Structure 1
């Protein structure tokens, strides 16, 4: 059995954790049923992504972009659970099978238990923001630890677990924070952020997705996202709910932000232009954070573990 995940060319810890999470949850799964694709963490229930003609075992995946594949053929699809009730409704299955995003189970792994707190407050942007934004500098300005979502997945997750509070534009930043019992605040910088995905997960643990708006931090970020920056509109009329994983990012635009050979004057100018982002992020980090109830999260984990036990019985 092979695990399927979206491998972003930019790196994204929420997708990359599929590389090792399933070995913990279903030891030995790689050695059986080579005809089966394990479709796990990620917004990957998409006709354009999943191959036709191969058996697929769905464990907690979500819908959010593009169109659904035809999932009615039982010989090709074994749908044990999906990320949340909104995905279940789209797929046409019992809403009770919209259990939880499997990423929450990372908190059960020995590698991440009893980690000491190191960071007071941390910010986890969406990977698209990380590519072209000034967020490391903005975080320095407001006293936040910056966590790059493109980093090595286990390192990113440790930093989340070792924070006392998380400000998250990344959905999996909030999901992992909630799993580690770290209070979190959601923010958004553009229409690129898919509220369907967030609400799908949020409904499973009884929290509300109400992100605070933070302006983009650079002209390059505005170009990539089709957003406004200092009164200039860079909207490129992209279709709603476009899959950002498949969007082509102009490397030259991103380099304009990250190019190390900048004069101190140019760097200071960019920080000045990022001041509205810094102010909004500073205000956001002082809002009241959220956290799901302990028992609600525990119940959802138990339901997911029952699904995992049924998979072990049927496939191993």
Structure 2
């Protein structure tokens, strides 16, 4: 059996954790049923992403983009559970099979247990924001630690576990924070952030997915997201302009004067991020999270009986 995950060319820890999470949850799964694809963490129930042929075992995946694949053939699709009730409704499953995002079980791995709380507050942006934004500088100015979601997944997760508070634009930043019992605040920099998948997960643990709006930090970020920056609408920007702007933003080294100018332009982002770090955070109830995890473990036990 082989795990499937969506692979960003930039890296994204919420998807990349599929590379090792299932070895912890289903030891030995790689050695059996070579014809089966394990479809796990991520918004991957998308006809354009998954291969048409072959058997699939779905464990906690979500819908949120594009078109659902035709999953009616139960000889090809073994859907044990999905990420949440919204995905369950789209797939045509009972709501109780929208259990939770399997990423929450990362917190049960011994290598992440009892991490020291060495970081007071950190910001985890969406990977698209990290590509073209000025967020490390914005965080430094606002007094927050910056966690790059494109980093090696285990390193990113350790940093989340070591925080006292998380400000999350990355949904898996919030999911992992909640799993580690770290209070969190949801934020969003643009309408591109997928509210469906946030509501899907939030419905499983009884939290409010409403995000505070944070202004975009750079012109390049606005171009990449087709958004507005300092009164200019970049919705119709060409792909060439996007590539050029992102290249300029990520180029190094920057002159001190140019960086200072960018900091001035990012001042609204800095203020809003600072305010978010002082907003009332949230955390799911211990009993609710435990109940969902127990249900997911029960599903995994059934998979072990049937496949291993």
Alignment-derived partner of residue 89 in structure 1: 89
Q: Deviations over 1:125-152 (max 9, x none)?
A: 0000000000000000010000000000
Partner Cα distance (1:148, 1:223) in 2: 20
Q: Which SS does the other structure have where 1:49 is aligned? A: coil
Query: What residue number does 2:154 align with?
Result: 154
Q: Of the candidates 291, 294, 300, which is equivalent to residue 286 of structure 2? A: 294
After TM superposition, give the deviation of residue 283 of structure 1 in Å: 0.9
User: Is the CA contact (8 Å cut-off) linking 2:5 and 2:16 kept in structure 1?
Assistant: yes
Offset at 1:253? 2.2
Find the residue that maps to 1:57 and give its secondary structure. strand
| CA separation of 1:290 and 1:264: change in aligned 2, threshold 3 A | same
Q: Which consecutive residues of structure 1, in runs of 5 or more, have no partner in the other structure? A: 239-246
Classify the secondary structure of the residue corresponding to 1:19.
helix
Helix, strand or coil for the counterpart of 2:306?
Answer: helix
Equivalent-residue separation in structure 2 for 1:162 and 1:75 (angstroms): 44
Deviation of residue 248 (structure 1)? Answer: 10
Task: Tell me the secondary structure at the aligned position of residue 140 of structure 2.
Answer: helix
Match in the other structure for 2:302: 310
**C-alpha deviation, 1:255, in angstroms:** 2.2
Query: 1:128 maps to what in 2?
Result: 128
Q: Map of 1:3-82 to 2, 5 A cutoff?
A: 3-82=3-82
Shift of 1:52: 1.3
Q: TM-score, normalised by structure 1?
A: 0.95
Residue aligning to 1:220: 220
Superposed CA RMSD: 1.4
Cα distance 1:257–1:43, how it changes in 2: closer, same or farther (>3 A)? same
Q: Distance in 2 between matches of 1:213 and 1:306?
A: 38
Distance 1:315 1:147 in 2: 37
Please name the residue that 2:255 is paired with: 263
User: What is the TM-score when the length of structure 2 is the normalising length?
Assistant: 0.98
Distance 1:11 1:269 in 2: 29
Farther-moved stretch of structure 1 (247-256 vs 262-271): 247-256
Task: Determine whether 1:113 maps to 2:105.
Answer: no
**Aligned residue in 1 for 2:244:** 252
1:280 corresponds in structure 2 to: 272
Residue 237 of structure 1 deviates from its aligned partner by: 9.1
Q: Secondary structure of the residue that 1:60 maps to in structure 2? A: strand
Per-residue CA shift, 1:278-302, capped at 9, x if unaligned? 0111111110001000000000000
Cα drift, residue 259 of structure 1: 1.6
Matched, 1:190 2:182: no
Q: What is the rounded CA distance, in whole Å, between the counterparts of 1:273 and 1:87 in structure 2?
A: 39
Cα distance in 2 for residues equivalent to 1:277 and 1:92? 41
Residue 254 of structure 1: CA displacement?
Answer: 1.7
User: How far 1:258 sits from its partner (Å)?
Assistant: 2.1
Q: Runs of 4+ in structure 1 displaced over 2 angstroms?
A: 247-253
Matched residue, 1:140? 140
Helix, strand or coil for the counterpart of 1:267?
helix
Q: Which structure 2 residue ranges, 5 or more long, are not aligned?
A: none
Match of 1:53, SS state, is coil
Corresponding pairs, count: 308
* Distance in 2 between residues matched to 1:249 and 1:65, nearest whole Å: 25
